[in-house]
Structure 1
């Protein structure tokens, strides 16, 4: 079973509902917590990166290949903390695309409870597609654009 559809295997009450984007389960482990028993601030970005990797991997893009649209660099990562994560377990990352440019993409996210009811942190992640040889920005492929639009946030939300 893939990570993106893992939630669907549970009871209908447990399945998160979102108006846009998608929810991907992520695991917070005991060693992700800091000395105060709270998810360390640096681990929030790790959770988001793991969720994005799972999403794109299931679409057939592999970061390990270092080619195609999977080869992109994070330009900016913003996180706003809402509520502390105080225990290990399963959480969710709600992902969506806010803007899709010629060579860049701005995505929004929320680290939340598995059902999406409680937001722990939220923010944006901006990336630029890069040519692996020249390390210069290049346009997203039509395939990546088509996939990204499936989780695009509607303008009126």
Structure 2
């Protein structure tokens, strides 16, 4: 009888996006520098947006829903990342409002089993002409609903 390899926990919501930690992301103590965590989360969020057809190519008017700003960012560090390699960012939406949203995230092992850091980020959609809050498009809302965490 052979032992079975442990399986990664099934995600009940959201998605896992692979990210890479490079040697130069580590600080003098050999730990992932605290400023790199938000960068990895931003890259995972940007990848999700691009996959959904939302991107910035130098024109904020044409960018549509990609014209947004961070209103709040919160992070808690749970375990140190101590070596380069492949990890993942688990993303999900906590709230999808008319002009804003809150997404949750975890920086985790590539299989999602171990959490290194977790938090939330609040974004506000902006009108590029006025830089005031503007409603998300229906296309963006449809893409976002796929990431919504259920209320249960």
TM-score, length-scaled by structure 2: 0.91
8 A contact 1:98–1:153 mirrored in 2: yes
Label 1:14 to 1:62 Cα distance change in 2 as closer, same or farther (>3 A). Answer: farther
1:7-156 to structure 2, matched below 5 A, reads 17-64=10-57, 65-66=59-60, 67-156=63-152
What does the per-residue CA deviation read over 1:120-155, in whole Å, with 9 as the maximum and x for residues that have no partner?
000001000001111111000011011100010011
Question: 1: distance between equivalents of 2:73 and 2:9?
Answer: 25
Q: 1:15 to 1:133 in 2, by over 3 A?
A: farther
The 2-side partners of 1:133 and 1:14 are apart by 49
The corresponding residue for 1:4 is none
Q: Distance in 2 between matches of 1:124 and 1:37?
A: 26
* Alpha-carbon distance in structure 1 between the residues aligned to 2:7 and 2:44: 19
- TM-score if structure 1 supplies the norm length? 0.88
| Partner Cα separation in structure 2 for residue 80 and residue 139 of structure 1 | 30
Provide structure 2 residue ranges, at least 5 long, that are not aligned to the other structure: 1-5
